[in-house]
Amino acid sequence: MTLAIFLELVEIRTKLASLFPFLLGVLYAGYYFEAFNPINTVLFFVAMLVFDMATTAINNTMDYVKAKNLAYRDEENIIGIAGLNVKKVTLLIIGMITFAAVLGLVLTARTSLLLLVIGAVCFTVGILYTFGPFPISRMPLGEVLSGLTMGFGIFFIAVLINVADVQLATVAIAWPQFVVTGNLISVLAVFLSSLPLVFTIANIMLANNTCDFETDISNHRYTLV
């Protein structure tokens, strides 16, 4: 697999959709909380980018495997166009997800268990978006969940990894009990500030599904459109 084919497989051009909430989250942490942790920021950026590429690769793989429209499968999907081996692509995806998960655990150790919880939710939504018996992308839920996961999830994590626990929120465990503590005003401020991003990401997905309307119907993908 050449670099050009790999970048097409992960659709590197679409990563601006996750880069934007990441950058605004980092800037928001610096402006509102006056906090910035360069190591955590770099670790999260790499983990976020790699996982985003993995989810796109899953999307293209599942679209290829489940394609009902053979012309789409062989002439439009990158796996069909480049003649890629599905098993090798699957191993690549597993490797990227594993790498992102390891970086996530490192970040959790450096910050808070709350990151583990939020990260697990984002990972689950990202993987199930196109994988499994009932992929989210094939239902009218894609816009809502992608908007919340990317628009709020990435933004919130970008803030969380840069600020002290007491400034935002954290989880403490004293087995078998656990306690979630935080500053409600700060959490609400972050959530409200993320809403323009949530709506923007949802609109991007809506526009994408609108453009893919006829192809989606031929491949039995029943999106909101």
What does the pLDDT read at residue 126?
A: 86
Mean pLDDT computed over 182-189: 90
In a domain, 16, yes or no: yes
- Label residues 150-170 b or e (16+ Cβ within 10 Å = b): bbbbbbbbbbbbbbebebbbb
Question: 3-class secondary structure for 42-56?
Answer: HHHHHHHHHHHHHHH
Mean pLDDT computed over 24-46: 94
In a domain, 223, yes or no: no
What does the pLDDT read at residue 181?
A: 84
pLDDT digits (tens, 9 = 90+) for 83-124: 889 999 999 999 999 999 999 999 999 988 889 989 999 899
In a domain, 79, yes or no: yes
What does the pLDDT read at residue 156?
A: 94
Q: DSSP letter at 166?
A: G
List the one residue out of 115, 156, 123 whose CA is nearest residue 54: 123
Rounded Cα–Cα distance for residues 180 and 137 (Å): 32
Q: What are the tokens at 7?
A: 């970048």
Residue 187 has pLDDT above 80, yes or no: yes
Rounded Cα–Cα distance for residues 202 and 196 (Å): 10
What does the pLDDT read at residue 166?
A: 66
Mean pLDDT computed over 42-66: 91
In a domain, 101, yes or no: yes
Containing structural domain, residue 178: 3-218
Mean pLDDT computed over 17-41: 93
In a domain, 224, yes or no: no
Domain count, the chain: 1
